Amino acid sequence: MELFERLIKGDLRAAGRLMSRAEAGSGEVRSALGEIYKAAGKAHIVGLTGVPGSGKSTLVSKLVAAIREDGRRVGVIAIDPSSPFSGGSILGDRIRMTNLAMDDGVYIRSMATRGSTGGLARSALAAVDILDAAGFDLIIIETVGVGQDEVEIARASHSVLVVSAPGLGDDVQAIKAGILEIADIHVVSKCDRSDANRTITDLKTMLAMGINVSIKNKDDKPLWQVPVVGTSSETGEGIGKLLETIDRHRDAHRSTALGPERLRRIAEYRTFKTAEDLLRGRFFTSTSERVTAMVERISRRELDPFAASDELMSNIAL
Amino acid sequence: MELFERLIKGDLRAAGRLMSRAEAGSGEVRSALGEIYKAAGKAHIVGLTGVPGSGKSTLVSKLVAAIREDGRRVGVIAIDPSSPFSGGSILGDRIRMTNLAMDDGVYIRSMATRGSTGGLARSALAAVDILDAAGFDLIIIETVGVGQDEVEIARASHSVLVVSAPGLGDDVQAIKAGILEIADIHVVSKCDRSDANRTITDLKTMLAMGINVSIKNKDDKPLWQVPVVGTSSETGEGIGKLLETIDRHRDAHRSTALGPERLRRIAEYRTFKTAEDLLRGRFFTSTSERVTAMVERISRRELDPFAASDELMSNIAL
């Protein structure tokens, strides 16, 4: 596997080609991805999520700059909440336009949420492995914190960052409530705004109420206290501190029970997800003709989808 | 099936109980849901979607009021983009607090996006069938237009309404781009704002460029021209016109090739979704012990998820 050899030597063109193949979902790439998975495991994976309008993309570009100043190499997988049809990649384009684009120590890949359910997670996690095997120190997966797939992908990382911003509408806050609990680190963006303190206080109150789940050591002390870090992409405030906090979480992840526990959960998720893809693909292929033959009757309500799927499942040994 | 008999006589307590059972996903409810599916098919289903901050929930409550004034009965399934953990239902609660709550011709159900992928679509579509079989004239499914599941659910309706609002941020607009193409009717909310005209013009320009897909008749004329309707939940402007437009689309759906084509697509989607649920459930049950035994090695990168899932699939005849 020539591409694999080139990848583990750090060849980024090989990385890009492998990602494209993983996204296309061709069967041939599976064995390469298996090898890549086994070669990976050194990078620290950061899942960064937050509602629309929280300033995630700008924060990512500032964080990337700070990581580069520190001399480390960083990959970004930006997952666009875009069309099931057009598959655009607006957020990624925005990042690429910054002055980071010509730097060899940065690799940015943006992915559309096109294709079937599960395909997104498969492509994103394959891209993470590819960048990991290529020798990047940190890999950031940026997702919008809405939609089950997107949240799951963010959770398949070592450090989950949830970005909140002051002054978002009620609708948006309602969504945010759902992702706060998955944070290892809370980030409040736009801290140059006067109402940011309120957001920070709210988050700290929530944490004091014990909403975030934590793993405890033998003395019943939590192995990690979820911090709240304020940042401003405008003034640069807090970006350095955020990177320090990520490194602190990485150290806790590597030196305590936090890591093995998280790694097992991710391994289980990835295995089921991979198997599910395979299962669904085979099922669709093997039943699509029979489904087509049934659709007319189902659309006329003479046959129901439950009876139809029982029939489809009847000769599958599971 | 006592509950079923009560349901088709319009008993709303029976409806609520059946929805709860469908959400719990118990195996027993499947045959009842099959009967309900076959008894349903009279209601017109409206999928209403839009990004956070577009004012969907308020619009829904105004639309519901207009439908009631017209003497028709309406059900609302509000899908909350909430926690994978807590399963809250903030949007639904907000609607319930309006003066519609005591009206027998309105039924509002809110659902959290908790549970496994696919479970949300299953519960939401079951709830639609239940309200349909109970005799509601119109059923509105409200979803946030982000996340594959949510968009798919909106598309499983007869009339897809996409709500846009003036003055949303760049992040949000980027998301919106992805759902515009699925609209049968565009709604621009917050038309009391001075910048709403710009949003309407933008949508019309986009439509003129032919982005929305349309089915054509023999003379090569589209069977439906996607309209843009401006509304204001503040002043009530445009709400009546929106209801008229929905009725006009319903008529086109029922009297032209639009309907059968859409119904076949929905039937196919529902059959695959139902079968997929069944398939995934059986697969998880039959493999979970073997997965647990593999997880340690996968988390240590000695085994990869691809080889692991090949192994899991090896004795499944598909």
Query: Would you say residue A277 has pLDDT above 80?
Result: yes
Q: Which of B148, B301, B313 shows the shortest C-beta gap to A38?
A: B301
Higher pLDDT, A143 or A95: A143
Asked whether this complex has an ipTM greater than 0.90, the answer is: no
Average confidence (pLDDT) over A220-245: 93
* % of chain A exceeding 90 in pLDDT: 51
Which residue of B125, B269, B272, B310 to mutate against A (max A Cβ within 10 Å)?
B272
First to last CA, chain B: 34
The answer on A106 and A53 residing in a single domain is: yes
Range of the domain at B293: 259-318
The answer on A70 and A219 residing in a single domain is: yes
The answer on A191 and A276 residing in a single domain is: no
Q: Looking at A211, A240, A256, which one is the last position of a domain?
A: A256
The whole-angstrom separation of Cα B121 and Cα B79 is 10
Q: Which of B181, B260, B301 shows the shortest C-beta gap to A37?
A: B301
Q: What is the DSSP letter of A252?
A: H
The tokens describing B162, both together, are: 């996409």
Angle between helix axes B239-255 and B56-69 (nearest 10 degrees) is 80
Average confidence (pLDDT) over A221-239: 92
8 A C-beta contact, residue B56 and residue B50: yes
Which residue of B28, B171, B265 to mutate against A (max A Cβ within 10 Å)?
B171
The reply to whether residue B88 touches residue A272, judged by beta carbons under 8 angstroms, is no
State the total domains in chain A: 2
Which H or E element spans position B69? helix B56-69
A243-252: pLDDT as tens digits: 999 999 999 9
Q: Does A305 touch chain B (CB under 8 A)?
A: yes
Q: Looking at A241, A256, A271, which one is the last position of a domain?
A: A256
- pLDDT computed for residue B59 by the predictor: 92
- pLDDT computed for residue B87 by the predictor: 34
The answer on A294 and A205 residing in a single domain is: no
- pLDDT computed for residue A82 by the predictor: 42
The answer on B84 and B6 residing in a single domain is: yes
The reply to whether residue A275 touches residue B287, judged by beta carbons under 8 angstroms, is yes
Sign (positive or negative) of CA dihedral B254, B260, B266, B267: positive
State the pLDDT confidence band at A46, using cuts at 50, 70 and 90: very high
The answer on A41 and A154 residing in a single domain is: yes
The DSSP code sequence of B167-225 is T--HHHHHHHTTTGGG-SEEEE--TTSTTHHHHHHHHHHHHHTT-S---B-TTS-BS-P
The reply to whether residue B117 touches residue A120, judged by beta carbons under 8 angstroms, is no
How far is CA A169 from each of CA A241, A253, B97, B152, rounded to the nearest angstrom? 28, 35, 19, 25
- Which domain CATH number covers A86? 3.40.50.300
Residue B153's identity, in one-letter code, is I
The reply to whether residue A53 touches residue B296, judged by beta carbons under 8 angstroms, is no
Which H or E element spans position B77? strand B74-80
State the pLDDT confidence band at A115, using cuts at 50, 70 and 90: very low
The reply to whether residue A305 touches residue B90, judged by beta carbons under 8 angstroms, is no
State the pLDDT confidence band at A146, using cuts at 50, 70 and 90: low
Q: What residues in A contact B276, CB-CB < 8 Å?
A: 280, 283
Q: Residue A180 in 3-state DSSP? A: helix
Q: Does A1 touch chain B (CB under 8 A)?
A: no
Residue B199 CB partners (closer than 8 Å, separation 6+): B164, B165, B166, B188
Q: For each of chain B's 318 residues, which pLDDT tens digit applies?
A: 689 999 999 999 999 999 999 988 777 888 899 999 999 999 999 999 887 778 888 899 899 999 999 999 999 998 865 433 333 344 444 444 455 556 779 998 888 665 444 577 888 999 999 999 999 999 999 987 666 677 788 889 999 999 988 877 655 555 555 677 889 999 999 999 998 998 898 888 888 877 555 666 667 778 899 999 999 999 999 999 999 999 999 999 999 999 999 999 999 999 988 898 888 888 888 898 999 999 999 999 999 999 999 999 887 877
The answer on B240 and B266 residing in a single domain is: no
Q: How many other CB atoms sit within 10 Å of the CB of residue A300?
A: 14
- pLDDT computed for residue A267 by the predictor: 95
The reply to whether residue B83 touches residue A179, judged by beta carbons under 8 angstroms, is yes
The whole-angstrom separation of Cα B205 and Cα B192 is 21
Q: How far is CA A95 from the centre of its chain?
A: 17
Which of B73, B80, B90 minimizes the C-alpha distance to B124?
Answer: B80
The answer on B233 and B265 residing in a single domain is: no
Query: Would you say residue A145 has pLDDT above 60?
Result: yes
A61-79: pLDDT as tens digits: 899 999 999 999 999 998 8
The reply to whether residue B308 touches residue A271, judged by beta carbons under 8 angstroms, is yes
The answer on B292 and B263 residing in a single domain is: yes
Q: What is the pTM of this model?
A: 0.79
The answer on B146 and B120 residing in a single domain is: yes
Q: Does B257 touch chain A (CB under 8 A)?
A: no
Determine whether A173 is exposed, middle or buried from the number of CB atoms within 10 Å of its CB (0-12, 13-18, 19+): middle
Please identify which residue in the block is written with the tokens 């997988």: A77
The whole-angstrom separation of Cα B46 and Cα B154 is 8
Q: Which residues pair with B139 in a beta bridge?
A: B45, B75
Q: What residues in A contact B93, CB-CB < 8 Å?
A: none
Q: Looking at A221, A256, A291, which one is the last position of a domain?
A: A256
Q: How far is B81 from chain A (nearest CA, A)?
A: 5
The answer on B268 and B184 residing in a single domain is: no
The answer on B250 and B295 residing in a single domain is: no
